[in-house]
Amino acid sequence: MAKYVIQGGQKLSGRVRISGAKNSALKLLTASLMGNDLSIIRGVPRIKDIFTMAQVLEVLGAQVEFTGHNDLLVNPTFLNNYVAPYELVSRMRASILVMGPLLAKLGIARVAMPGGCNIGSRQIELHLKGLSMMGASIEQGHGYIEARAKGRLKGTVIPLDFPSVGATENLLMAACLAEGETVIENAAREPEVGDLAHFLGKMGAQIEGIGTSTLLIQGVENLHGAEHRVIPDRIEAGTFMIAAATTGGNITLENVVSRFSELVIGKLRDMGVDVLEDGSRLHVSRNEPLEAVDISTLPYPGFPTDLQALMMVLLSLAEGVSIVTENVFDNRFIFVNELNRMGARIRVEGHHAMVYGGATLSGAPVKATDLRAGAALVVAGLVAEGETEVHDIEHIERGYENLDQKLRDLGADIEKVSGESQF
């Protein structure tokens, strides 16, 4: 297990280019299975989750190849298997997103049950309920879910109890090849869902209401391959904005869509951070002390749960007390113990956390419990006095492309060291 070793105290400065969105690219890969020929997806981050998804696609019979540094070619012509095995699904829950495409294209999908993970129980009943409303029969047993359709799936009205990102995406993909019209009500509005819908449109799908909570899909008989560039990663952008603010630095982010981060930018400004929007760039700096703000995570356009842990680091340094409420996942505060070991003063009560500001963080050995919590500990290390070791960085490498290199380029003192984890 590798670790990052960080010497705190450097203010970040310079430019950083934001990569393509992980949570979009993963779904574009699974959607490309539904085409009758090649798709080219540009701007795909070279991260572990993408490599795992490429393996899932290969197991299913597709050919996947990086053609340029960040361009991925998917050839689904030889799709000949419908089983996503436990070994891969247990490594990455997003593998469940092959279910809609396989069912729609082959009439059958068998996917290992993903189970919970470090941030919560993460059910998938909304995916399954929607697919069965479209006519699929679903069986669960021996750790697998098998969905079958007699002929094509049938379009219908699917009201989602909760705007789940994954359920919206699975159902959207399945609906593209279904017979007739499907309406997904209370659909997730995350930009990554929109990106998937735009890609499907290029493949020949007919989708209306993109970016709204009602998606209307007219099924077609076939989809073809398409070429598409992944949208910039708004969570990576948020990570660097928060890192700049935490260290009192001054950086320029390139390749961003600022409207995807409106609420985050607003909260940072409320805290006293300067954020200047400049086309596809954002200039972020901080010279003033930070003020406390309250945060409540919600589905998009609400405050993203994926930035909750990172914001807690920034709020730890602010004047006053902030209340952070996590509404999306049921176990996304477990990293708090690690941050408190670095000197933060955060008290968790159910799905609320009281962050007592004015903390002086000090370097310590800590453990990344999941991807975003790991990034938060790295950012804490940048501002902590002395040396921080962040262990179990495999979690971080699942979702951030060259995080350590990008931070070094901004002046941070961070090294990746391979070796045994002490935890």
> What residue numbers does the annotated binding site for phosphoenolpyruvate cover?
22-23
251 three-class SS = strand
Shortest separation between residue 287's beta carbon and ligand EPU, angstroms: 31
Site string for ligand EPU, 80-119 (x = CB under 6 A): --------------x-------------------------
The letter for the amino acid at 142 is H
Our finding on whether 165 is near ligand EPU (CB under 6 A) is: yes
204 binds ligand EPU, rule: CB under 6 A: no
The site map against ligand EPU for 291-310 (x = CB under 6 A) is: --------------xx----
Judged by CB under 6 A, does residue 399 bind ligand EPU?
A: yes
Q: Does 39 bind ligand EPU (CB under 6 A)?
A: no
- Interface positions, 139-158, toward ligand EPU (CB under 6 A): none
Cβ nearer to ligand EPU, comparing 21 with 275: 21
Strands 72-75 and 387-391: unpaired
- The length of the chain, given as a count of residues: 423
Helix (H, G, I), strand (E, B) or coil at 343: coil
Q: Residue 24 Cβ, how far from ligand EPU at the closest point, in Å?
A: 8
Residue closer to ligand EPU by CB (options 214, 422) is 214
d(CA 244, CA 298): 24
Per CB under 6 A, which of residues 303..342 are in contact with ligand EPU? Answer: 305-306, 328-329
Distance CA(29)–CA(132), nearest Å, equals: 24
Measuring CA to CA, which residue among 168, 162, 130 is closest to residue 23? 168
The C-alpha angle 229, 199, 228, rounded to 5 degrees, equals 20
Distance from C-alpha of 320 to C-alpha of 305, rounded to nearest angstrom: 22
Q: Coil, strand, or helix at residue 41?
A: strand
**Residue 285 Cβ vs ligand EPU, minimum distance, rounded to whole Å:** 27
Contact between 321 and 354 under an 8 Å Cβ cutoff? The reply is yes
Please, which residue, 165 or 344, has the CB nearer to ligand EPU?
165
Is residue 187 a contact point for ligand EPU (CB under 6 A)?
no
Q: Which residues are annotated as a binding site for UDP-N-acetyl-alpha-D-glucosamine?
A: 93, 306, 328
176 in catalytic set: no
By CB under 6 A, name the one of 10, 19, 30, 164 that touches ligand EPU: 164
With binding defined as CB under 6 A, does residue 166 bind ligand EPU? Answer: yes
Per-residue interface string for the shown chain with ligand EPU, residues 365-394, x marking contact by CB under 6 A: ------xx----------------------
Between 252 and 308, CB nearer to ligand EPU = 308
The H-or-E segment that residue 200 falls in is helix 191-202
From 329, 396, 286, 390, select the one nearest 166 (Cα to Cα).
Answer: 329
From the list 133, 134, 129, the residue with the least C-alpha distance to 177 is: 134
Nearer to ligand EPU, 135 or 299 (CB): 299
Task: Please state, as a whole number, how many other Cβ atoms lie within 10 Å of the Cβ of residue 238.
Answer: 27
What are φ and ψ of residue 174, in 5° steps? -60, -40
Identity of the residue, 4 or 290, whose beta carbon is nearer to ligand EPU in the bound complex: 4
Edge-first strand listing for the sheet containing 108-112: 83-84, 108-112, 144-148, 137-141
Catalytic residue, from 117, 133, 257, 298: name it: 117
- As a whole number of angstroms, the distance between CA 423 and CA 418 comes to 14
Out of 7, 55, 118, 123, name the contact with ligand EPU by CB under 6 A.
123
Task: State yes or no: residue 189 binds ligand EPU (CB under 6 A).
Answer: no
Question: Residue 233 and residue 236: Cα distance in Å, rounded?
Answer: 5
Q: How many binding residues for ligand EPU (CB under 6 A)?
A: 23
Structure tokens at 268: 């940072």
328: DSSP letter: S
The binding site consists of 22-23, 93, 306, 328
Between residues 235 and 361, which has the closer beta carbon with respect to ligand EPU? 235
Give the type of residue at 224: H
- 23 is a contact residue toward ligand EPU (CB under 6 A): yes
Interacting residues toward ligand EPU by CB under 6 A = 23, 26, 94, 120-127, 162, 164-167, 305-306, 328-329, 371-372, 399
Instruction: Kindly list the catalytic residues.
Output: 117
